[in-house]
A and B are shown apart, each in its own frame.
Chain A
């Protein structure tokens, strides 16, 4: 396997030697490209067909259509279907782009320029100009991302057409407008040819996240959550921006095709073992990028916005906070992987942050009762896995996990959404039970089961394979404490299985019982009536007052859930296409800039990777070098994680299904007192929010008050003084003009006397 990974660059180099063209290169590459070793196995881009620009353009069309629908006060579900149409079109174009790309030699890339954006120069020297086109860079990594982003966006828009139907006529158009803007921004982010277009998309998705989380703007919790998400994103964006600036300062360009050849010398240096040769300015760039990634992808310490973001409508949670926006951080690192490979500390930091976040979020998820929150923490945890994957040089594993996670997490969120929609906003797992057996909820139950199996890593599901790749690789690659990371990830896998099936066994199976949530309303009821229902339900347990009936999902929701569940299953099959490279996804990743070509030599001094010359002796070293309890991780990990998954599911089964008669309690409650205060701490999210509040928010608020006082007293005071002074002076002088003639006469005489004195004195 190692040999195959290493032969790819040489294969590609020979193939793309023919693609390297002199002269006309649309991104302005230097002639150094010719003759010099092709960078990192990445080919010089060729000019791509312009119809690829439809991928970001169609969502803009959808945005305009939704805006017109809002202007003309359309009262039907039309904006939703228009959106679905535009996004389906974008998906079609993405498929076409992939077909086009796969028609070319492996490892090739395309650049599609929409228009020239910036072309500034402020001097004649080399570093004194800045050029950025609004262009798109299509390689296999881009295609992978765009396929699932547009596909999921289409499906979720279809789901949202029914889910948001309560708001038709009021906020419906606004929702879909923001939805379209989001897809456009994500397309810019993923398809951008340079860091500036990526940043445009980055900010755009942050903005749309704010708009969509705060969709229910009349609800203070939602507004606060939107602000929190945006502000924490901004902190990350600061890091990213600094990274972009540093890239420009160091390399003079921010465009990927121009950047990779410039990074190549450092890669060569690291391959040869001289990690210290890489200057600080270069190794600092990935550290700054990772701050941005942590903000966007909700890792420690910037993850607290994601659970709060569940205040937004469920389709938003599914699309943005499960499948697309939060993977932008992973994408950033994968895309700029060459820079990460030459920095000594970047990848280990990413790995450790990811691992700790994964474990932390899993422990919090175990103690929550709100099923959407549990899924949110699960997302944070799985994102930690993806970052670990990148850190252990399994960018293929990370990307595959992104891919599978997008499908099954979207499925899970949409099922939770269906439950919420049908039970009047009820999300507490202590108040719902046996939903899958209720009439009309069968498909939801099956989809939820499929999603849970994937998340828990049940053998032969897609989630199993993808998680496996990452955990196995973490035992193989040598890096600071990477073995420990592997154990942490394994433990987290067990916890994940537990809390996932806790949700499933509590909410979807077991005795049928439900309580409507706060938003329960029949169309002719008012809210006061709904609150009475709650009281009734509390007393009667699982018979319910006749007024509330759960609202089983309709066609659109069931259809989407079915498709997504199916897709989650099929995604497992992608593992088996092209097993040489860990599946179809692996192949996509290896032919792009996210390829690991053994250049992170600092991660293992002896063996795995430093041999860019690809010899078989590496395999023997490889097996002995990274091992899991003395066995080869790649072979053994399937069984180990399978066992861990079973243990988790088994624990959930025992504690939350066996012998459970009501919705509210289970065997777990009897065990909880044994653990002391720990469950309570976990339920309060380890008080991280409170910590941030005390350490960051409170001092800032005090500072704000101080500044306010300074502003009021000093600044306003100075301005007021400028007004008061003339008044004081005037008050003194005004009495001189009292209209008394003699006073004026005295003044004249006095003045005359002074003049005479002056003349006499001066003439002496």
Chain B
């Protein structure tokens, strides 16, 4: 339904603009947003894999969250439907809660090994 709506919107773009709706986004513009989202995601992924510091690793996961959120918003704007944006609000909330949880875990881990390095934890091997 949203696709049909987008086509109609494009066709009647000017009409909508006269009625106060925002102008529909063009596909190349969407590509730019998605590209940014992808870049952010990859940076987050690489950072997660590469970095040793637990907090930085967590920061990278947050970055990945943000990338996903950006993509959702871009699509929401593209389809002129509020679903994506609503979802992002939920995701941000959950990310926040998860951040609290993760940092609590990091604190506990730090207390065990007196180090923030992920490489200290190797017991579960074999």
Chain A positions near chain B (C-beta within 8 angstroms): 734, 737-742, 745-746, 749
Q: Name A752's closest neighbour in chain B (CB-CB).
A: B45
Shortest Cβ gap from B52 to chain A (Å): 8
The CA-CA distance from A738 to B126 in the complex, in Å, is: 6
> Which residues from chain A contact B52 at a C-beta distance below 8 Å?
742
**Total number of B residues with any Cβ neighbor in A under 8 Å:** 13
Among A737, A746, A749, the residue within 8 A (CB) of B125 is A737
Binds A, one of B9-17, B65-73, B87-95, B116-124: B116-124
The reply to whether the CB of B49 lies closer than 8 angstroms to some CB of chain A is yes
Q: Which residues of A contact B122 (CB under 8 A)?
A: 738-740
Q: How far is the CA of A738 from the CA of B50 in the complex (A)?
A: 17
Tell whether, in the assembled complex, residue B49 and residue A742 are in contact, meaning their CB atoms are under 8 Å apart.
yes
**B48 closest partner in A (C-beta):** A745
Q: Which residues of B are in contact with A by a Cβ distance under 8 Å?
A: 45, 48-50, 52, 118-119, 121-126
Residues of chain B lying within 8 A (CB to CB) of residue A738 = 122, 125
Q: How far is the CA of A737 from the CA of B126 in the complex (A)?
A: 5
Which residues in B have their C-beta under 8 angstroms from that of A734? 126
Pull 17 A–B residue pairs with CB atoms less than 8 Å apart, ordered by A. Answer: A737-B124, A737-B126, A738-B122, A738-B125, A739-B122, A739-B124, A739-B126, A740-B119, A740-B122, A740-B125, A741-B118, A741-B119, A741-B121, A742-B52, A742-B118, A745-B49, A749-B45
A742 to B52, CA, bound (A): 8
CB-defined contacts of B45 to chain A, threshold 8 Å: 749
Min CB distance A742 to B, Å, is 6
Query: Which among A739, A745, A746, A749 is the interface contact of B123 at CB below 8 angstroms?
Result: A739
Task: Name the 5 nearest CB pairs between A and B, nearest first.
Answer: A739-B125, A739-B122, A739-B124, A738-B125, A745-B49
Overall SS of chain A's interface: helix
Q: Which residues of A contact B49 (CB under 8 A)?
A: 742, 745-746, 749
Least distance between B67 CB and chain A CB atoms (Å):
14
Minimal Cβ-Cβ distance residue in A for B54? A741
| Bound: A739/B126 CA distance, A | 8
Complex alpha-carbon distance, A745 and B119, angstroms: 12
Cα A95 to Cα B43 in complex, Å, equals 113
Complex: chain A residue closest to B42, CB-CB: A749
- Give Cα A250 to B35, complex, Å: 92
Question: What's the minimum C-beta distance from A551 to chain B, rounded to whole angstroms?
Answer: 79
Instruction: Point out the residues of chain B lying under 8 angstroms from A741, CB to CB.
Output: 118-119, 121
In the bound complex, residues from chain A placing their C-beta under 8 Å from that of B118 are 741-742
Contacts of B121 in A (CB 8 A): 739, 741
CA distance A738 to B123 in the complex (A): 8
Nearest residue, chain B, Cβ from A748: B49
Residues in A with CB closer than 8 Å to B119 are 740-742
Nearest Cβ in chain A — how far from B87, in angstroms?
21
CA distance A734 to B124 in the complex (A): 12
A491 to B124, CA, bound (A): 95
Of A734, A737, A740, A746, most B-chain CB atoms within 10 Å: A740
- Kindly report which residue of chain B lies nearest to residue A753, judged by CB atoms: B45
Give the distance to chain A from B48, nearest Cβ to Cβ, in Å: 6
- New contact pairs (11) apart from A739-B126, A740-B119, CB-CB < 8 Å: A738-B125, A739-B123, A739-B124, A739-B125, A740-B125, A741-B118, A741-B119, A742-B50, A742-B52, A742-B119, A745-B49
Q: Which of A738, A742, A746, A749 has the most CB of B within 10 A?
A: A742
- The CA-CA distance from A13 to B52 in the complex, in Å, is 114
B71 CB to closest chain A CB, in angstroms? Answer: 14
Chain A: CB-nearest residue to B123: A739
Measured CB to CB, the nearest residue on chain B to A740 is B122
Q: How far is the CA of A632 from the CA of B122 in the complex (A)?
A: 111
List chain B residues, Cβ under 8 A from A739. Answer: 121-126
B126 to chain A, nearest CB (A): 6
B-side contacts of A742, CB under 8 Å: 49-50, 52, 118-119
B123 to chain A: which residues have CB within 8 Å?
Answer: 739
Q: Which residue of A lies closest to B122 (CB)?
A: A739
